[in-house]
Amino acid sequence: MGSRNMRFVHRLGDMLRRYLDADIEFSGMRYLTYLAFVFIAACMLGWIYEVIDVLITFNTLTNRGFLYGPWLPIYGTGAVSLLVLLGRWRRNPFIVFFGAMLVAGVLEYATGAALMAIWHERWWDYTGLPLNIQGYVCLYSVLAFGTMALLLFYLIDPLVRRLFDRVKSRMLPIVVWGFAATMFVDFVLTMIFRHPI
């Protein structure tokens, strides 16, 4: 990447950090790498959570993902969206909890509706659960997302920030962006072979 492009990427990272999450200690490309790491980790943890949930509930081992790999992009998108959109209010658990319910609820509804509109298939269905909206989102799911956001903001994110602060290796961005590239290739292959439009 040329030096002009790298300066743009660093400025973009600084702008995101400054305007969206003023408390974060990283800057420039390191902040974007941090967000990519959170995205990938949340995608993988979400996949593990879903596989275990289905295994316990239905006694069936299945790939819960839309993609081939062990990741669910909705969890990564949710985690990064919450950190970016609610980062300024991290000192207020009330705002984090209810803000996460709103943000994650909208994301889950929009994703479920889009998957149905494009592929005519449901990847989850909350029909029959209290206060569900067309089976895409329900009270239980948004309460769970609010609770997960509290864990994200007050337990997981501080640990990841400390880890990121301690790891000065030049390999970290290579590994993180390598995973991101792998997920992108997985997405392209999924669109071609597994779930063509």
Query: What ranges do the domains of the chain cover?
Result: 36-173
Name the pTM for this structure.
0.84
Q: What is the pLDDT confidence band of residue 172, given thresholds at 50, 70 and 90?
A: confident
Which one is predicted more confidently, 74 or 162?
A: 74
118 Cβ contact partners less than 8 Å away, ≥ 6 residues apart:
197
Tokens of 69: 């790999």
Residue 76: band (very low, low, confident or very high) from pLDDT cuts 50, 70, 90: very high
Give buried/exposed letters for 43-59 (b at 16+ CB in 10 A, else e): bbbbbeebbeeeeeeee
Residue-averaged pLDDT of the chain: 88
The pLDDT score that the predictor gives to residue 12 is 63
